[in-house]
Structure formats: structure tokens, C-alpha cells
Amino acid sequence: MLWEWFQLGGPVMYPLLACSIIAMTVITERFLFWSQLRKEQDPAGVEKVLTLAQQGKIAEAQSAGRALRDPVARVLTRGLEHWPSAVTGALEAQVEQELRPMRRYLGVLDTAITLAPLLGIYGTITGMIQAFGFLARAGLPDPQRVASGIAEALITTAAGLTIAILAIPPYNFFASKTEEMAHQIERQATNLELLAKK
């Protein structure tokens, strides 16, 4: 059934298929990434690093931070390694480094979400052109050929919208998770920066 619809959708179905494969690949990879990152998070360990820094035990704070896999801890550790004179620059550089993998492929997914409905509309136009072309060329139109053009138009529209509709919720989820992590990292980095200025 799906293969029949794919064939009826015409040549535009191939780029739509590519969009769907790309979107599913990115969504799967991002879910795996965030599942792994959730396991690595250690808020208690991060608080311990900050507490040690507040107590002036910089070497111990560095050791505690290096023992953690939490991205917030990595940012704090980088700042502690440049304590106290170059803390701000070190924190900013590490924050950007930690956020880069969190944002990875979101642009690709966003492109697939935007492109799929446009390809669907393009398929609609080409399908309707084909249907009206059959009507214009035939004295007595062939209903089957006209129907195939209309089917192409409708199937490509449905396919493009389906890809976008299914990909938007995961995209929003990943974007919100990235924003949430950025907020956490920047908040703790600011706390360490304030300690360095005391």
C-alpha cells in the first residue's frame, strides 16, 4: 500500500523520502545523545565543586570537577584551571564548547521540517499541471490519467505535511533541552566567576 502511494506521488516523493530519512536519523541520534547526557548529569557533584571553590580549596575543587562527566562540571573545572585571573575567558570558551554538541544537527532537522511541506506543495503544483495537461490535450479526457495527476498532487502534499508534523515536536524538545542546559551552565559559571572576584 505504501509503495503504491509512493509510486503515485511521482518523482517529488524521492526528495521527500530523503527528508524523512534525514529527519528520523537526526531525531534518533539526538534522543541517544540526550539520554546519555542525562546519565552524566550530577548536580550534587557540581555543588560540591562550587562549595570547595568557595572554601578556597581550588586544587580539591579541580580534582572533584575532573572526576565528573557532567558538562557543567567541565565548565567549572576549566574556569578553576585558570583561577583567578583568566576565569571569565576560560568559562566562556568552555561554555561554547559544551553547547556545540547540544546544538548539533538541529539546523539539519529544521531544514527538513521547512523543506518537506515546500516539496509537498511543489508536488501538488506538478501533479495539477499534469492533470490539466491531460485535459487540455485530450478531446475526451482520460479519467484515469487525470486522476493520476490529482493523486500525485494530494499524496505529495500529505507526505510533506506528515514529515513536518512528526518532526516538529522532537525538534522543539531538543531545542528546549539545549536552552535549559545552557541556562544551567551559564548560571553555575556566573557563580564561579563571582567567587573569583571576591
- Quickly tell me which residue has 580549596 as its cell: 57
CB atoms within 10 A of CB 165: 12
At 152-183, the pLDDT tens digits run 778 899 999 999 999 999 999 999 999 999 99
Q: Three-state SS for 60?
A: helix
Instruction: Give the DSSP H or E segment for 141.
Output: none
Which among 123, 143, 124, 125 has a CA at the least distance from the CA of 134?
143
| Cα 185 from Cα 183, distance rounded (Å) | 6
Instruction: Please provide the average confidence, as pLDDT, over all residues in the chain.
Output: 89
| Cα 80 from Cα 53, distance rounded (Å) | 8
| Cα 150 from Cα 152, distance rounded (Å) | 5
Name the pTM for this structure: 0.85
At 12-65, the pLDDT tens digits run 889 999 999 999 999 999 999 999 999 999 999 999 999 999 998 999 999 999
Number of H helices, E strands in the chain: 8, 0
At 89-147, the pLDDT tens digits run 999 999 999 999 999 999 999 999 999 999 999 988 888 887 777 666 655 556 666 66
**CB 16 within 8 Å of CB 119:** yes
What does the radius of gyration of the chain's CA atoms come to, in whole angstroms? 26
Instruction: Give the DSSP H or E segment for 31.
Output: helix 13-40
